[in-house]
Structure 1
Amino acid sequence: MSQLKNEISDSKFNMWRACLAIISIDGRHSEEEKLWLSERARIVKFSKEQLETLERELKKPVDIESILPLITDKKDLAFLMHQIRVIGNIDGLYDEDEKAAFKKVESIVMKGIDLTSIEKEVQKMEDESYHEDVVYKSGNSASYLENWFLGFKKWINPGDYKEP
């Protein structure tokens, strides 16, 4: 599928196709699901060709497993995980088929993810955010009292900037 200006990427489009497959998994489309779909069709910048594909797949759903490999951007996969939860609760009936579909997608998405390295990276980012220059930054450099107080806090809390 060619990428036109303002058209969503193939990965994102396939993420929306997967959402449609999840909506169709229980064999029915509630009024809430139809409203949700029409809102997405209005908000998301689908091309004419993409909208035609979605309309066709609404009538004749495709298997989600055939779509998942086409979602190549990790952000799109993560968003799909969120959307499955949203979709599952739109009509107030998060049934067993939808739960099973979520588990299947989750296992496929999580298969290639190293959570340990992600947790370490997030911890490092959090630790770096507590640098003393940020924690003890004065909001008013002209205020003698504020600067003295921040200096005092830094003096009584040397080296541990998580608890200013």
Structure 2
Amino acid sequence: MTDQTQGQAQEMSDSRFHMWRAIFAMAHADSVVTNEERAFMYKILTEEPLSAIQRAQLERDISAPQSIPDMFAKITDPDDRSQFFYFARMLVWTDGDFGAQEQKILLELNKAHVKMTDMDSFTGDMAFELDEEDKMNILFDHTAVEEGAQGGLLGAFYRRFRKK
């Protein structure tokens, strides 16, 4: 985000701006922009911290359909991509009809979202190994050993730690 003088809102990031452009493009997915969808989009124009240039572009996007995949591809922040799906569903349900074309587009974009997600950064510092206490519980819990030795998760852990 760009810093502005004290007391003024910060300008929206480019990623978030393209999230809104992709959402506005979704309104055109079924080739009909309903009054409810327009009301949703105009509400965004009043509530989000848009620059004058961003606001003008989104106003044009209300009446001029954009490429949904192209706009979605410009959403660089994983949180913005995730929020796209939340807001896009809100938009397409405003008219009470989640059409087949809208469903197909959201499914394809969801696949793209998964491909674009860096799973290493997504999982962060998650620990995928057992701590020492869990290892000992698995090794010395005879019930778990007997039941798990043949298969399943406990069996895999048992075999893994038995080899050490």
Distance 1:30 1:66, change over 3 A: same
Amino acid at match of 1:92: G
Identity of aligned residues (%): 25
Q: 1:46 aligns with which of 44, 47, 50?
A: 50
Amino acid at match of 2:54: Q
SS at match of 2:56: helix
The equivalent residue for 1:158 is none
Counterparts of 1:41 and 1:12, CA distance in 2: 13
Q: 1:13 aligns with which of 13, 17, 20?
A: 17
- Spell out, residue by residue over 1:22-54, the C-alpha distance to the aligned partner (whole angstroms, 9 max, x if none): 011111211111111111111001111011111
TM-score normalized with structure 1 length? 0.66
Please show how residues 122-141 of structure 1 align to structure 2 within 5 Å. Answer: none
1:91 aligns with 2:63: no
The equivalent residue for 2:40 is 36
User: Unmatched 5+ residue regions in structure 2?
Assistant: 5-9, 129-164
The equivalent residue for 2:69 is 65
How large is the Cα RMSD of the aligned pairs? 2.6
Runs of 4 or more above 3 Å deviation: 112-124
Counterparts of 1:117 and 1:9, CA distance in 2: 20
Cα pair 2:38 2:62 within 8 Å, conserved: no
Counterparts of 2:126 and 2:96, CA distance in 1: 34
TM-score normalized with structure 2 length? 0.66
Equivalent residue pairs, number: 124
Distance 1:118 1:93, change over 3 A: same
Distance 1:118 1:73, change over 3 A: closer
